Structures are given as structure tokens and as C-alpha cells.
A and B are shown apart, each in its own frame.
Chain A
Amino acid sequence: MRDVFVWLNDQLLRMQWLSDLVTWILADGLGLDMTSRIAGSVHFFIYDVIKIFILLSVLIFSISYVQSYFPPERTRRILGQRQGLGANTMAALLGTLTPFCSCSSIPLFIGFTSAGLPLAVTFSFLISSPLVDLASVILLASIFNWTIALSYVAVGLVLAVLGGTLIGYLKLESQVEAFVFQSPVSDHDNDGQISRRERLIYARDQVLDIVHRVWLYVLIGVGIGAAIHNWIPESFIAATLGQDRWWSVFVATLAGIPMYADIFGTLPIAEALVLKGVGIGTALAFMMSVTALSLPSMIMLKRVVKLPLLVIFVGIVTVGIIVIGYLFNSASHLLI
């Protein structure tokens, strides 16, 4: 039974067959020396790009299908029925089901806040939404392993719940632009009218839409990953981001904050960093800060909240990510 699982995991998730196929084409078909650096980079690039696009399409299709049952209006209703920590936890969990674009965060923020949801719940949702989603979990399991993937979800959810709760505790309602509270609440819930066919079409459209939006980031991410993998000396990486450098998590987190990419573009970079001996916590911290915080999403949020709240939000998330990074680094012997 265990062998069957391992085999399924290796072939379906890690796509060992694809790695073998790419090796075969490069070595036997093109006559490349697979131990050379160029062949290594080309293999990393082709294998990772194909793997990520296959997983991406399959995962987004399934998730979008599930997500069509949870339009934002329904999410808002579910969250409005709960209070306290339960509401925060629910918000963090429902955040994992949302689409991956930070452009939807503004309508959600206004829609949630004007309907009277507490800031604590809204921010739990806003933190969890870009950070944790089902697609990223499967991809993490594919590139690293299940322990790391599940730990990532767990700490991501904890960060969302705690971050939101803390923001709620600080009573920052005055730091939200006044027009947000005055916005009308419309409740156009399409859930009841959507047929199965429409859900399937919606899921297909989501795949096309997201692939169209992220393909460049994936190529850039894999390209950087391939460069790190074979061209940047290990000694350089070890000296800057190595496990024994106490500042590594700091540097990785701060470097990731302004960057805008989604988790699919960041994963290959994290993968290459870990292969080069960077701590798993450092790599995950980089990934989390790239996905959870970015300049474009901050500029958008600035239109609905005042500067102090924005700074507090970014601060809490940053500190949380740094703590998670150190936690993972110190527990890395349990994870790999």
C-alpha cells in the first residue's frame, strides 16, 4: 500500500516520468552531456515549466469548480454568522478557496467592511487569500514533500488568524477611509442559478485566465531557478543565505516584500535555493513575502485604508513570516 502511494506520488505529483523523458530527449536525442552545466539548466527549465503548467491547469480547474460554490457574497454571509476566533478561522479557511489575484482584494475589502464584518475577520481573509491556496499546497508537495506542504498550510493559516485577530484587537476602524463604510451592500448571489455546465465553463475560463496572467512569471521564476541551480556558486549562496547565517531569513523576507509574483513563479526559485543548501525556512519566508505582500497590492490597499493601518498590516505579516522562517529552519531536520 505504501509502495503504491510512493509510486503515485512520484509519477503523478513529482512527475518522475517527465524528468526521465526530458533527460532521454536531451541525452539520447540531442546528444548532450547530462553532467554539464548547460544540460542541467536546460533540464531544470524544461522539466519545471512543463510540470508547473500541467499541475497548474489541473489544480486551478478543480479548485475553481469548488470555488464556484463560494462566491464572495456567500463567503461574506458565512463569515457574518460567526464571531470571535471562529470567524477568523473560517475567514482564513475560506481565504484558501479564493482566486489568486490581488486585484480582487479591494472589492472584497470594501464589500466585507461595508456589510459590517469586523476588520479582524476581513484581514484574516486578506492574509490567507494570496498566501495559502490548495494549488500551492499540491505544488509544494510536488517540489518538496507532504510534510513541508502541510506545515506550510498550517503556519499560513495560523498567521492569518493571529494577524487578523491582532489587527482587530488594535481597534483600527478609524484608519479605514470613510467612504468604505458608506458603500452600498449589494447581494447578488448567483450560487443558486448556476448550472453544472456553467461551473465547468467557469473553471475552464479560470484556467485560461490564470495561465494567461501568470505564464510569464512562471517562465521568469523557472529561469531564475535554473540560473541559481547551475550557475551561481554554492559558496556564494551559502555565504549570503546559508543556514548558519542568522540574517538569512531577514534578507529573504525583506527582499521578497516589494516583489510581485504569485506562488507558481516563486516556487521554482525556492526549489533551486533549497537544492543549493539554503534553509527550507529561508526559502519559504521568501515565497511567503513575495506572495502575501507586494508593492501593487499595497498601492491598491492604500486607496481604502490610511497609512498607519497599512503599515501595521505589512508589519504584522512581515514579522509573522520572519518568525515562521526561523521556526522552519530550526525544525528543518524534521521536515526533509
Chain B
Amino acid sequence: MKIKILGSGCKKCVALADNAKAAAQTAGIDFEIEKVTDIVTIAGYGIMSTPGLVLNEKVASAGRVLSVPEIAQLLAQAHPSES
């Protein structure tokens, strides 16, 4: 699974990245995580508030630091076979 964190390097983006990593590890999903910091690329995903979470090139959330359980749920929806 490809996980992308959209955000220009603020504290919230780091928090979201940490939570996403924890959630994916707990779920035992094979993943790679990438941080997208270029503001035009971020806006190219159609979101207007950061941090954003992108799972397999689909925007899963924007503007909030999701908790680990919240991300786990999104991961399960995005990737049912591996959860």
C-alpha cells in the first residue's frame, strides 16, 4: 500500500505520518510512506487544508490529524484483502 502524507512540513503532518505508520504496522500491511511537501502538488490532489492522507492515490482525509484507530479503519476500507 502506498501512503502519502500531504503537508508543507508542519507539526501536524509529522503527527499524522507517525499515526499512519503505527496503524499500518499494527494492521500488518506492507506499506511505503511518502511525504509530499510541494504546495502545488498537494493542491493537485484537490484538498484545501493540510495535513492530508492519501491511500493508494486516493484522498482519505484532509485537514485533520487522524488517530491511529481512525486510520486503521480507513486502511481496512482501502485495502480489505490485507487487513
Q: Identify B48's interface contact among A108, A205, A300, CB under 8 A.
A: A108
- Cβ of B34 to closest chain A Cβ, rounded Å: 18
- Cβ of A60 to closest chain B Cβ, rounded Å: 16
- Whether B49 contacts A186 by the Cβ 8 Å rule is no
- Whether A111 contacts B64 by the Cβ 8 Å rule is no
Knowing A71-B63, A106-B39, A188-B59, the reply to whether A183 touches B48 (Cβ < 8 A) is no
Task: Answer yes or no: B61 CB below 8 A from chain A CBs.
Answer: yes
- Whether A107 contacts B64 by the Cβ 8 Å rule is no
Task: Answer yes or no: A173 CB below 8 A from chain B CBs.
Answer: no
Task: Answer yes or no: B28 CB below 8 A from chain A CBs.
Answer: no
- Whether A106 contacts B40 by the Cβ 8 Å rule is yes
Knowing A103-B39, A190-B64, A300-B39, the reply to whether A72 touches B46 (Cβ < 8 A) is no
Q: Identify A303's interface contact among B40, B42, B64, CB under 8 A.
A: B40
Instruction: Count residues on chain B whose CB falls below 8 Å from chain A CBs.
Output: 20
Residues of chain A within 8 A of B31, CB atoms compared? none
- Whether A107 contacts B63 by the Cβ 8 Å rule is no
Q: Interface SS of chain A: helix, strand, loop or mixed?
A: helix
Q: Identify B43's interface contact among A76, A107, A190, A209, CB under 8 A.
A: A107
Residues of chain B within 8 A of A111, CB atoms compared? 43, 46-48
Q: Identify A183's interface contact among B8, B39, B44, B50, CB under 8 A.
A: B44
Knowing A186-B62, A188-B59, A190-B63, the reply to whether A73 touches B39 (Cβ < 8 A) is no
Task: Answer yes or no: A308 CB below 8 A from chain B CBs.
Answer: no
**Considering residues B10, B45, B62, B64, which has the most beta carbons from chain A within 10 angstroms of its beta carbon?**
B62
Q: Identify B42's interface contact among A73, A107, A109, CB under 8 A.
A: A107
How long is the Cα–Cα vector from A106 to B42 in the complex, in angstroms?
A: 10
Q: Which B residues, 36 to 79, have Cβ-Cβ distances below 8 Å to chain A?
A: 39-40, 42-50, 59, 61-64
Residues of chain A within 8 A of B8, CB atoms compared? 103
Knowing A71-B63, A103-B39, A107-B39, the reply to whether A186 touches B45 (Cβ < 8 A) is yes
Q: Identify A73's interface contact among B40, B43, B44, B48, CB under 8 A.
A: B48
How long is the Cα–Cα vector from A74 to B45 in the complex, in angstroms?
A: 17
Knowing A188-B63, A190-B63, A190-B64, the reply to whether A106 touches B46 (Cβ < 8 A) is no
How long is the Cα–Cα vector from A303 to B40 in the complex, in angstroms?
A: 8
- Whether A186 contacts B46 by the Cβ 8 Å rule is yes
- Cβ of B25 to closest chain A Cβ, rounded Å: 24
Residues of chain A within 8 A of B45, CB atoms compared? 183-184, 186
Q: Which A residues, 303 to 326, have Cβ-Cβ distances below 8 Å to chain B?
A: 303-304
Using CB atoms, name the residue of chain A closest to B64.
A190
- Whether B63 contacts A110 by the Cβ 8 Å rule is no
How long is the Cα–Cα vector from A303 to B43 in the complex, in angstroms?
A: 12
- Whether A184 contacts B40 by the Cβ 8 Å rule is no
- Whether B62 contacts A188 by the Cβ 8 Å rule is yes
Q: Which A residues, 55 to 78, have Cβ-Cβ distances below 8 Å to chain B?
A: 71-73, 76
How long is the Cα–Cα vector from A185 to B44 in the complex, in angstroms?
A: 9
- Cβ of B13 to closest chain A Cβ, rounded Å: 12
Residues of chain B within 8 A of A108, CB atoms compared? 48
How long is the Cα–Cα vector from A184 to B8 in the complex, in angstroms?
A: 20
- Cβ of B22 to closest chain A Cβ, rounded Å: 20
Residues of chain A within 8 A of B47, CB atoms compared? 107, 111, 186, 188
Provide a sorted-by-A list of 25 A–B residue pairs whose CB atoms are within 8 angstroms. A71-B63, A76-B48, A103-B39, A104-B49, A106-B39, A106-B43, A107-B48, A108-B48, A109-B43, A111-B43, A111-B48, A179-B44, A183-B43, A184-B44, A184-B46, A185-B46, A186-B45, A186-B47, A186-B59, A188-B61, A188-B62, A190-B61, A209-B10, A209-B11, A300-B39
| Partner-A contacts on B (CB < 8 A) | 8, 10-12, 39-40, 42-50, 59, 61-64
